[in-house]
Amino acid sequence: MRNDRVRIFVGRHRNILVAYGVMLVVVILFAFNQADFFTRYGPQSIFNQIITLCIATLGQTLIILTAGIDLSIGNQIIFLNCVMATIMQPIIDLVGNDGLGIVLTLAVILAAGALCGLLNGVLVAYGRLQPIVVTLATSSIYIGLARYVRPEPGGEVKSEFARLMTGRVLEYIPMAAIVLLLVIVLVWIPFRNSRSGQALYAIGGNETAAYLSGIKINRAKISAYLVAGVCSALCAIMLTAQTRSGDPTAANNFTNNSIAAAALGGASLAGGTGSYFGSIAGAVILSLIVGLLVFWQVSSYYQNLIQGLILVLALSVNFIVHFVKKRQAAARAAAK
């Protein structure tokens, strides 16, 4: 019975184990290259590098679970980033209190993110349109809105806020780590463990079967897009704190990287498999590789190339594992 459980667990999470193996290698390489890795600045720098992609990937994973895909995540984040950098100072002026103004700004951004997600979700669920088409269209809308809100890069972000979000708490704990933990504990886990969350796996696995089991398909799908929208907002908040401005022209790889990270973390783009656990590993790998390339002074022209190669390699690990297992099984049988 115990053995059974271990076997089933490993079978179910093999992709994730591979992702964590790769992540370990990347982190170790990183540790060797970063001089202050073992000081209090080390974790801070690492978490600041990974936080935005981690959160974006968590949102993307929810949608991928339903066998959908969100091509608008990157532009959603840029849009919310522009809004945030633009409205923060006016709101602070309006309420006349820094703290309250910032909290109000965050609330507005979160609500706006939820709305963006809701729009995607409603179009997909009730419009019966394919997610890839819907999010391609809304992606243009979001970047258009971003340019409307902020024709030029800029805006004002309170430096206290920026320092708080990118700094450390109690001397050692990076704020970004706390944010990531909060996102997992307050957003992902409760949602995953709700009926709607469970329904995502069912829908992605086999939508007809899910329907036959009495699952409310539309509600579950919309909730996935909505929560993903909230994740985009959280990502935008961290991004704004890091860049201290809103930039509609910023090159952003969030869409591509979040999809790649989810796939690296064991999510299947056919739907039905994936987890926060794996996706975070995927996001960490992709973020830190960029850092490594900087350490190694690889020209930024080649970053994409190398990132892509590593992605292909990591994804083929599963294939290799499968192949080796097959050979072993054959050898075992022959030995009998």
Partner 1 sequence: MGKDVTNLGEQTVDREYLQMEHISKRFGGIQALDDVFFSCRRGEAHVLIGENGAGKSTIIKILCGVVARDTGDILIDGKKVEINSALDADDNHIAAVFQELSLIQELSVAENIFLGHEITGRMGRINFKAMYSEADRFLQEIGIHINSRELVKDLSLCQKQMVEIAKALYKKPEILLLDEATSALGEEEVEWLFEKIDQLTHQENKTVIFISHRMDELSRVADRATIFRDAHYITSFTWGDLTNEEIVAYISGKKDSGANVMKNHPSSDKVVLEIQNGAHGDDLHDINLKLREGEILGVAGLSGHGQVEMLHALFGHNPFDRGEMLVDGKPVRIRSERQALKNGIVLVPEDRKHEGLLLERPIHENITLMALDKLQKFGVIQGKKEREALAHSIEKLSIKAKDLNLTANSLSGGNQQKLVIAKALLTDVKILLLSDPTRGIDIGTKNEIYRLMHDLAQQGMSIIFLSTELSELILLCDRVVVFYEGSIVAELQGEDISEKNILAHAIGVAEDLAQDAPSDSDREGAQSDEK
Confirm or reject binding of residue 200 to partner 1 (CB under 8 A): no
What is the C-alpha radius of gyration for the chain, rounded to an integer number of angstroms? 21
- Quick one: angle between helices 159-166 and 217-243, nearest 10? 110
Nearer to partner 1, 256 or 268 (CB): 268
List 119, 165, 202, 241, residue binding partner 1 (CB under 8 A)? 202
Could you give the 3-state DSSP secondary structure of residue 336? coil
Q: Is 22 within 8 Å of 286 (Cβ atoms)?
A: no
Site pattern 213..252 for partner 1 (x: CB under 8 A): xxxx------------------------------------
Q: Report CA torsion sign: 296, 281, 260, 70.
A: negative
Q: Which residues pair with 169 in a beta bridge?
A: 173
Of 33, 39, 194, 304, the residue at the interface with partner 1 (CB under 8 A) is 194
Tokens representing 28 are: 């170790």
168 dihedral zone (left: phi>0; alpha: psi -120 to 50; beta)? beta
35 binds partner 1, rule: CB under 8 A? no
Q: Do 176 and 47 form a contact (C-beta atoms < 8 A)?
A: yes
Are 73 and 258 in contact by the 8 Å Cβ rule? The answer is yes
Nearest distance from C-beta of residue 195 to partner 1, angstroms: 6
- The correct pick among 195, 249, 304, 308 for binding partner 1 (CB under 8 A) is 195
Q: Which of 5, 93, 170, 319 binds partner 1 (CB under 8 A)?
A: 5
Q: Which is nearest to 221 in space by CA: 251, 235, 201?
A: 201
User: Is the Cβ of residue 206 or residue 253 nearer to partner 1 in the bound state?
Assistant: 206
Could you report how far apart the first and last alpha carbons of the chain are, in Å?
26
Residue 198 touching partner 1 (CB under 8 A): yes
CA of residue 157 relative to chain centroid, distance: 24
Note whether 128 binds partner 1 by CB under 8 A. no
- Single out the residue of 8, 24, 107, 182 in contact with partner 1 (rule: CB under 8 A): 8
Q: Is 335 in the site for partner 1 (CB under 8 A)?
A: no
As measured in angstroms, the least distance from the Cβ of 91 to partner 1 is: 32
Binding site for partner 1 (CB under 8 A): 1, 4-5, 8, 11-12, 190, 193-195, 197-199, 201-202, 204-206, 208-216, 268, 272-273, 329-330, 333-334, 336
